[in-house]
Structures are given as structure tokens and as C-alpha cells.
Amino acid sequence: MIRWLAAILGYSFFRFPGAIAGFLLGSVIENFRNTKKGGNFKTVFSQQRNSVSPADFELNLLSLASLVIKADGKVSQEELDFVRKYFVQSYGKERANATFKIFNEVINKQEISAPKICTLLRQRMRYESRLQILHFLFSIAKADGIVSDAEVKEIHSISNNLGINFRDFESIKAMFFNNPDSAYKILEIEKTATDVEVKKAYRTMVKKYHPDKLQHMDEVYRNGAEEKFRKVQEAYEQLQKERNF
């Protein structure tokens, strides 16, 4: 369905060495090997766990990224490069290669179901982590300089399936648009809010988006959280200047 994603990203896929079994992608690679022996990857991949394994998370994240990339009917090289850079920075080139190989040879042959993926993530990930997934998807859409209506629609659908409330969706979305009311949307308040309400909203958003809430995730994700945190601070500072308080 979307073999282009792995191919255009330009990874030279390697044969798995024997030591790869102990690698961080071990569980999914073993499942991948089982499919070569006639096993059912989908069954193993979707088996119940109390949390999402790193390997499963990476494949799920890549699947959601692919849906956003093709949402507007065209493949942007800038968006592909953004995903490539993210995965290499997050997991290293070798591990990223393994993830894209499995995606290309296994996941690519199945219909990607955003609702199923999001249900899995919603059940086994913290809310703040799911907010960061939303931020990552908007970052992909913005990589070519324009977030299209089709991309917003796709991300909104994913957001709903992830169980993210509308205000939080609008807040993160506003971080990628330079509109007059963006600061208010980022802080999740109306333009009619009083100065006291603006200050209260800022304190609430600081608690919600503080990078410390993502200490359990990879460094690149934490960097993304810091970027989101800065947007909240910038929005508040903008309203301080506008309202002179």
C-alpha cells in the first residue's frame, strides 16, 4: 500500500545479524521472523500487554506518520526527511533501519487501521504521551511549510481515536498556525477571558505540558515536549504584552 515510505527514506536495509535477537527491537523482529515461517504477525503484534513495547510503539508511530504524509494525496520529501531524521535521532540508524524494514515487509502488506492503532496506544500510554504523539504528527505536516486541511482532518481523526479532548487538540494545532487568536487557543481560553483567567490558564498549561511529564520517553520526544512548553510560554508572554499586565 505505501511501500514508497520506506523506499524513499533511503535506508539500505540490512540482513539481520544473529545478535539482533537481543536488540531493542527483539520482540517485533522475532514476530517478523515467525511470519517467514508461516506465523501470523498480526496476531502476535496485537496480543494483550499492560504497556506498549518500544518496538511496537515505533511501528505504530511510523504507521500513523505514513497516514499523515499521504493525507493530502502527495508525498512531500520534506515530510519524509523529517520522519527519517526523527527516527534516526531517536533510535539510531541501525534500529531505525530495522523498524522501516519490518514496516515495509509486514505492516505495508496490511491495511493500516488508525482506530486499531490508537485504541492500543490509548489503553497503554499516558495521556501526556499521547499529546506528544499529536505534536509529532503536526510537526510532520508542517515540515513542508504548510499544514493542509486534509492533514488537519487526518490528525484530528487520529486525535479523536487517541482519546484526546478537543481543547487539547486545538491547543496543539494552534502551535503550528500563526493566527491572531493562536495564543488564546494554545492556552485553551476564549478571547473574552479576564486577565485573572489568562494567568490561571497559563499555570494549568504549564502543569499539563511540563517536560518532566515525559521523562519516561526518548530524548527526541522530550525535546518535542520542551518545544511545546516554549509555545505555551510564548503565548502567555504575547498576551501579557497585549493586555499590559
Kindly state whether residue 50 falls inside one of the protein's structural domains.
yes
Kindly state whether residue 85 falls inside one of the protein's structural domains.
yes
Long-range contacts of 120-126 (CB under 8 A, 24+ apart): 120/46, 120/52, 120/56, 120/60, 121/52, 121/57, 121/60, 121/162, 122/161, 122/162, 122/163, 124/49, 124/50, 124/51, 124/52, 125/51, 125/52, 126/213
Q: How many domains does the chain have?
A: 2
For 28-54, the pLDDT digits (tens) are 444 444 444 444 433 333 444 456 677
Judge if 97 and 202 occupy the same domain.
no
Kindly state whether residue 170 falls inside one of the protein's structural domains.
no
Kindly state whether residue 173 falls inside one of the protein's structural domains.
no
State the residue range of the domain holding 33: 4-164
- What's the pLDDT at 209? 80
Judge if 159 and 217 occupy the same domain.
no
Domain ends where: 123, 138, 164?
A: 164
Kindly state whether residue 169 falls inside one of the protein's structural domains.
no
For 146-168, the pLDDT digits (tens) are 999 999 999 999 999 999 999 99
The list of the chain residues with pLDDT below 50 reads 1-4, 6-49
